Every structure is written in C-alpha cells, then in structure tokens.
Structure 1
Amino acid sequence: MKKHNTPTATKTPRSSSLRKRRTILVSVLVILGVLCASLAVTARWIATTITDEDKYVSAVSNLAQDHQIQGLISRTITDTALEKADIEQRIAESDNETLGKINRVVGIVQGRNLGDQLEAYIRPRLTNAINQVISSTTFQNLWAAANRETYSALMSALEDPDRSQDTIAIDLTEIIRNANTSLSSVERIDNALARTTITVPLLEEEQLSTLRAYYNLVNALAVWLPIVAVAALGMALYLARRTMLTGISIAVLIIASAGIPYFIRFAIHIFPPQSLMGDEMSAVLGERLVEAVLDDVAHAYLRVIPIGGAILLAVLLAWYFMRRRVI
C-alpha cells in the first residue's frame, strides 16, 4: 500500500516578497500616524492658545519676568520718550532767557549744547524710573492689559484678510505714566516726558501677512492631521500580522514623540523665520512666546501620554482576547 505524502506549505519567493512589503508598509504607516498625531496635538494646542484670549494673555504675561524683555522694554520706552520729548525744541521754545544764555555758553565752551547735556543727564534717571515700575507688582498688570489690547487688534487682523494695511503695535504708555518723570529743572521738558505716548510696532504689513499664512496653516493642520493619524494607524493595525506587537510599537513611538515640541522649539531658535523678524523687541517677544507655547505643549503631552497609553493598551488587549475567543 502506497503512502501519500501530504503537501506542506512552502515559502515561495513571491510570498516572502509580499510579506516583506507588507511589513515595510505597516512600519511606514505607524511612523506616519504617530508623527501626524504628535504634530496634530502641537498644532491644536498652538491654535487654541492663539484663539483663546485668556490663554494668550497668560502666556505673554509670563514673559514679564524675562530679564531680557524687561531690559528691552526699559530701553525702548526711554529712547522713544526722549525722542518724542525733543529736548532741544522744548528749550528753543522756552521764554526763559537764562536757558538761552546757558545754551550758548555750553555750546562754546564744551562743544555741546544744553539739549545734549540735558538728555545725557535725563536718560539714566528716566531709565531708572522705568526700571522701578518694571520691578514693581504694578508692571504685571500693566503688561497684561497692554497685551490684551494688542491681542484684540492681532486677531482682528488675522481673521480679516482685507485688513492688510494694519500694523500691530503694543501700547506701553501706562508704564511711563506710572514712572516719576520729574527729572529736570525744566518744567516744559518734564511735562513733555509725562505726556509722551509709547507705542511700539510689533508687526508691519509684510510680517502680518506672513503670520496670517502661518495662522491659517496651523488651523488647517489642527483639523486634518488627526484624520490622517487615525487613518494611518488604523490601516497599520488592520494590515499588521502581529497586532499586539504593532500596538506596542505605536505606544512606544507616541511616548518618544513627546520630544517633538522641544525639537520644533530648538529648530525655531536656531533657524528663526526671517519673514517674521522685525526689530529687536518684536523678534525677542515672538521667540519667547513660541518657546512658552511649545513648552506648554510638551508638558501637556507628557500628562496625556500615560492616559493615552493605558487606553491604547486596554483596546489592544480587548481586541486580542476577542480574536482568541472567535478563533
């Protein structure tokens, strides 16, 4: 009696090639899905911070403790106030004959007129007066109020493309209003300093147009990236031969992706978008604000990861045991 050998399954080159391609496809989908998920969280957080006035003002208010920003504010207010006060013009308009005589004598003897000397005398004292306000508890409220007004103008310009001619500025007048400006013996000059309005441009027309494009991009990414992430990860789990292993890989990559906001922050710090760079004040404020928002994203991401990982693991375990029962 002849024995018939039962056919055994053999791996053909074609099946091995298909299996390899399937593994590569699953890997690509997993990486794409996790990357899109992390960027979606970042985009959503940035969009929420920008569109929520209280979150924006809170983020900017924290910058009031930054010593570099404090120094910039002090220097900017001092320079602007002295420029607008126009000391030489105030002296020229004065009816005080003594001032005119002193001006002529100083100009002949020292080669400098009284206006230059008075400005050199007032500048350090005005800076010190501004610094006293900045170091006080009042400054935090003044800074928050100024940025709240700036936020309203900024959102109005971003959401209305027809307002392409706008220049976004921050009004720091209240800071000098709270400072002691009685710094010289010339009442006309002291009054001019006290009445000075300090408005610092942050975004010019071209920069505002670029920022509007970034704003629209972030909002679009916040909508579409989650959809792409869910589709990619769902397809990866569907095609995976080892669902549990793929799920664990997804969880590990999600945890690793918590560093993406820090990477974005580092990249922006090293390669700042030149199209948004204005003067020193706007550049530093913009950089610090982005860093603060991305730090908040990273911290929130680290808080969400354990919850997300637990939910993902529970779903995978439920799916795994359901499949075992069906089989």
Structure 2
Amino acid sequence: MAPTQTPAPPPSGGGADDQVVVTPEEHAEYRRLRHAAAVRHRTARSVGASVLLLVALLLSPLAVVAAWVDDEVTDTDRYVQTVAPLGSDPAVQAAVTDRLTDRVVANVDVEAVTRWLGEALADAGAPPAVADRADALTGPLRAAVTDAVHRVVQRVVTSDAFEDAWVAANRRAHTAVVNVLTGSQGGAVRAEQDKVVLDLGTVVDEVKQRLVDAGFEKASVIPAPDRQITLFESDALPEAQAGLRLLDVLGTWLPVLTVVLAALAVWTAPGHRVMLLVTALGAALMMVLLLIALAVARRFYLDAVPASTLPPDAATAIYDTLVRFLRDSTRTLLVVAVVVALAAYLYGPGRAARGVRGLAASGTTAAGHGLRRLGLRTGAAGRWLAARRPGTTGVVIAGGALALVLWNHPTVAAVALVLGLVLAVLVVLAVLAAAGGSAPREAGRPAGPGGAAP
C-alpha cells in the first residue's frame, strides 16, 4: 500500500496548483523538532525562573534588614519610637538608678567626713576611745548616703518627667547625628565639608539683643564666625556620609528589587501557580532563618555584655526593644508568605484544595439559595457577579494586597485584618451571585474559593 501523502500549503508567490507534498516521515520529523524546541524553551524558562528566585530569596533577609536600618538611621521619629519604651522599662530604670547612685556616692568623701567627726569629738573633749572609733562609722555612713541618694534618684528616674526627658534627649541626639551624616544644613549640629560644627546662631542673636537692650550697643556687631564652634574635624566624615547615602539607597531600592525579581521568577516560570507557591514557601523559610539569626545574635550579645557593666535583665530589655520592629516586620512577612502559599495551593488541582473549594462553593450557594427562598433576589446584578466571578475575585485580592503595600509598617494584626476583610468580601460576593442564579461554570475548570474559577 502506497504511503499517505499530505499536501502542504502553496509557497508564497506560487499558484494554486503548486503544492508541496509532505510525507508522514517528514511530518513526524517536524512534530519531533517542534516538541524538542518547546522542551528547550520550557527548560530555559524554568532555569531562568529558578535563578531569579534564588537571587530574590538570598536578597530577602538583606532587604528586610536594610529597610529596618534605614528607618532607624534616617528617620528620627521612627528611632524615637524605637527607644522610647526604654525610658519606662523597669530593668533599664533600675540600671540607670544604680549607675547614677554610684556616680553621686563616688563624689562624696565619706572618709573625710568621718575624720572631721573624729577631730570634732576630740576637740570637744570626748574620750579618746570614742574619738578614735569615729572611723568605724565610715561603712554605715556610706550605706546611709547610698540609700538616701538611691531613693532620690529612683524617684526621679521612675517619674514621667524622666520619660519625657529621655525621649527629648534621644530626639535631639538622633537629629544631630542625622544632620551630620547627611550633610544637612538645618539644626544646631551639622556637617560642613570635613568638620562638624555647633551653630550657636539663635543663642548669639538672643544674647546680642539682651546686651543691646542693657545698653551695650557694640554687642550688635559681634561677627558671624563667632556663631560657630567646631566640635571635631575628620577626613573620614565624607566616607561616613557616602555610607549613609548608600544605606539610604539600599533601604529604599533593595526591597523593591527583591520583590521585582520574585515577580519575574513567577512570570517567567512555565507553571505560574506552582512557582508562586514555591516562591512563597521560600520567602517564609528565609524569614524563619532571619528570626533564628536574630535569636542567635541576641544570645551572643547577652554573653558579650559584662554583668558588671549592665545587668542581664537590662541588656535583654535593650536588645529586645531595639530590634522589636525588625522582628515584627519579619513575622509579618512570614505570615504574608504563608497566606500566599496557602492561596496558591488552594487554587491547584490537589484533592484537599478541591475539597476546600467545593465546601466553600456549597456553603455560599446554599446561603444564596436561602436568600432566594426568603425573596431576597439579586437578579441581574447577581447574574453579572456569577458570570464575572474570576474577575471580581482578582480585584478583591488585588485590593487587599494594595492595602498592605500602602499600610505604613503593617503588623501581623494588620495582615489578619486585611485577610479577614478580603475573605468576607469574597463570601458576600459569592452569596450575592448565588442569590441571583449562578451562570453555568466552564466545564472541566475547578472552582476557586467561594466557588470562583481560578
């Protein structure tokens, strides 16, 4: 039997009768080459997506830390918000009280007081045994002075005035440091080339005016250079400013670059849903590793601080307070990653995912039918929602993601709130769609959460 021959379309410019005949062997070779090209293309996409994902995951902890450091170094309000609780922490207050008490008592010459007391007793005619034993009062006297000073200092340190002074002092100090490192021309302390100067302009103007008002007219011609005092001069100041500018760039753009690389990995991969699931799980793993690193760093810090310098409870409070925003951000990203991974899984073909989608669809459908039996029909609006379920689901999810992006320093509670609102809106839309009469679902397509097709 002669082999079957398949006519091919006529070549460009040829007549209708000029046809190329393709044999089955040639057609099979064409299909083989086409399949091989598709496999190579799919492999190249998988490799590219894997490389992008690997870089994004490696950068993710650095991006979180860089953003946190940038917040603490350049944002005075954020820094003050970080250190403010230390002023009211009992362990820190106790350490400050003990340190100030020791400083004050060290300046009290108790031995001189007891010597003076012995001499006074001798001059008053006291028996020699009494005068000679005045030195024995050194210990009790020191203890009494220490106790009295400690009570006074403790009352001051535990008062609201100390907390206010603590916040104000940290705000002034941080503003001065930022002015120096950024080269800002505002504020009393600022950088000028390789010098750090203290600008006394406001004080000088006030003093000049008071001197003029008091009759010293020549005070009005105090020269401008006398307004500034050079605090220190260093050739390394420009390098420090350049380092802060680099940190500012990293803190702003490194998180953006990490998110872009992760998005490109998902977009490049042949299976978008699977890559989204892998990316989310990888991000969650990196956040767990970052939390572990913070715990290890905490242990090293506490072991490195001598107990004679800072009590362990105060050192613990200081470390936990300073890194609490970094820890909160890491936990928030961990929760977000877990939520994204769970959503990606629920939109997949797994048996558990199909069961959850089916249960959600059954529940919302039953609720919608219950509304219809009560006479609450959504009519055309419900049918419109039923016909556009994937689109409305995507819009709601995108709205929730946008809310988290625009949220200033979101926490785990903020993520839970947004997630709850998104789920509530999806359930309401699914019930309204069922109350209007659901549009027929495409055959062979699994329903998403709430009955939506992925």
Query: TM-score normalised by the shorter chain: which range applies?
Result: 0.5 to 0.7
Q: Provide the C-alpha distance between the structure 2 equivalents of 1:148 and 1:221, rounded to a whole number of angstroms.
A: 24
Query: Which residue, 101, 107, 127 being the options, matches 1:84?
Result: 107
- 2:276 counterpart letter in structure 1: G
- For residues 303 and 84 of structure 1, do their structure 2 counterparts lie closer, same or farther at Cα, with a shift above 3 Å needed? farther
Indicate whether 1:58 and 2:81 are aligned: yes
Q: Residues 199-278 of structure 1 correspond to what in structure 2 (within 5 A)?
A: 218-226=247-255, 228-259=257-288, 262-272=291-301
> Which residue of structure 1 lines up, in the alignment, with residue 373 of structure 2?
none
Query: Does the 8 Å contact 1:258/1:301 carry over to 2?
Result: yes
Query: Does the 8 Å contact 1:157/1:163 carry over to 2?
Result: no
Larger Rg, first or second structure (1 or 2): 2
The alpha-carbon deviation at position 79 of structure 1 amounts to 1.0
> Which residue of structure 1 lines up, in the alignment, with residue 52 of structure 2?
29
The alpha-carbon deviation at position 33 of structure 1 amounts to 1.4
The alpha-carbon deviation at position 313 of structure 1 amounts to 10
Query: Does the 8 Å contact 2:72/2:78 carry over to 1?
Result: yes
The alpha-carbon deviation at position 266 of structure 1 amounts to 1.5
Q: Residues 128-167 of structure 1 correspond to what in structure 2 (within 5 A)?
A: 128-156=151-179, 158-159=181-182, 160=191, 162=194
Indicate whether 1:43 and 2:72 are aligned: no
Query: Does the 8 Å contact 1:262/1:298 carry over to 2?
Result: yes
> Which residue of structure 1 lines up, in the alignment, with residue 310 of structure 2?
280
Indicate whether 1:295 and 2:327 are aligned: yes
- Alpha-carbon displacement from aligned partner over 1:240-276 (angstroms, at most 9, x marks no partner): 2222322333234345544455334213213349999
The alpha-carbon deviation at position 219 of structure 1 amounts to 3.0
Q: Unaligned stretches of 5+ in structure 2?
A: 5-23, 183-190, 197-233, 344-396, 403-454
With the length of structure 1 as denominator, give the TM-score of the two structures: 0.59
The alpha-carbon deviation at position 45 of structure 1 amounts to 3.3
Q: Provide the C-alpha distance between the structure 2 equivalents of 1:43 and 1:98, rounded to a whole number of angstroms.
A: 68
Query: Does the 8 Å contact 1:74/1:131 carry over to 2?
Result: yes
The alpha-carbon deviation at position 231 of structure 1 amounts to 4.9
The alpha-carbon deviation at position 124 of structure 1 amounts to 2.4
- Alpha-carbon displacement from aligned partner over 1:164-216 (angstroms, at most 9, x marks no partner): 9xxxxxxxxxxxxxxxxxxxxxxxxxxxxxxxxxxxxxxxx9xx9xx989866
- For residues 136 and 230 of structure 1, do their structure 2 counterparts lie closer, same or farther at Cα, with a shift above 3 Å needed? closer
- 2:261 counterpart letter in structure 1: A
With the length of structure 2 as denominator, give the TM-score of the two structures: 0.45
- For residues 314 and 118 of structure 1, do their structure 2 counterparts lie closer, same or farther at Cα, with a shift above 3 Å needed? closer
Q: CA RMSD in A?
A: 5.2
> Which residue of structure 2 lines up, in the alignment, with residue 69 of structure 1?
92
Q: Residues 168-183 of structure 1 correspond to what in structure 2 (within 5 A)?
A: none
Q: Provide the C-alpha distance between the structure 2 equivalents of 1:17 and 1:77, rounded to a whole number of angstroms.
A: 73
Q: Unaligned stretches of 5+ in structure 1?
A: 165-204, 316-327
Query: Does the 8 Å contact 1:265/1:290 carry over to 2?
Result: no
- For residues 250 and 18 of structure 1, do their structure 2 counterparts lie closer, same or farther at Cα, with a shift above 3 Å needed? same
The alpha-carbon deviation at position 76 of structure 1 amounts to 0.8
Query: Does the 8 Å contact 2:88/2:158 carry over to 1?
Result: no
- For residues 260 and 64 of structure 1, do their structure 2 counterparts lie closer, same or farther at Cα, with a shift above 3 Å needed? farther
Greater relative contact order (Cα < 8 A, sep 6+): 1
- For residues 243 and 296 of structure 1, do their structure 2 counterparts lie closer, same or farther at Cα, with a shift above 3 Å needed? closer
- For residues 51 and 63 of structure 1, do their structure 2 counterparts lie closer, same or farther at Cα, with a shift above 3 Å needed? same
Query: Does the 8 Å contact 1:57/1:144 carry over to 2?
Result: yes
- For residues 64 and 109 of structure 1, do their structure 2 counterparts lie closer, same or farther at Cα, with a shift above 3 Å needed? same
- For residues 97 and 313 of structure 1, do their structure 2 counterparts lie closer, same or farther at Cα, with a shift above 3 Å needed? closer
Q: Which moved more, 1:246-255 or 1:278-287?
A: 278-287
Q: Provide the C-alpha distance between the structure 2 equivalents of 1:132 and 1:71, rounded to a whole number of angstroms.
A: 11
- For residues 117 and 298 of structure 1, do their structure 2 counterparts lie closer, same or farther at Cα, with a shift above 3 Å needed? same
Q: Provide the C-alpha distance between the structure 1 equivalents of 2:164 and 2:66, rounded to a whole number of angstroms.
A: 29
Q: Provide the C-alpha distance between the structure 1 equivalents of 2:98 and 2:74, rounded to a whole number of angstroms.
A: 31
- For residues 237 and 301 of structure 1, do their structure 2 counterparts lie closer, same or farther at Cα, with a shift above 3 Å needed? closer
- For residues 75 and 46 of structure 1, do their structure 2 counterparts lie closer, same or farther at Cα, with a shift above 3 Å needed? same
The alpha-carbon deviation at position 16 of structure 1 amounts to 7.1
- For residues 24 and 107 of structure 1, do their structure 2 counterparts lie closer, same or farther at Cα, with a shift above 3 Å needed? farther
Identity over the aligned pairs, expressed in percent? 21
The alpha-carbon deviation at position 34 of structure 1 amounts to 3.8
- For residues 90 and 223 of structure 1, do their structure 2 counterparts lie closer, same or farther at Cα, with a shift above 3 Å needed? farther
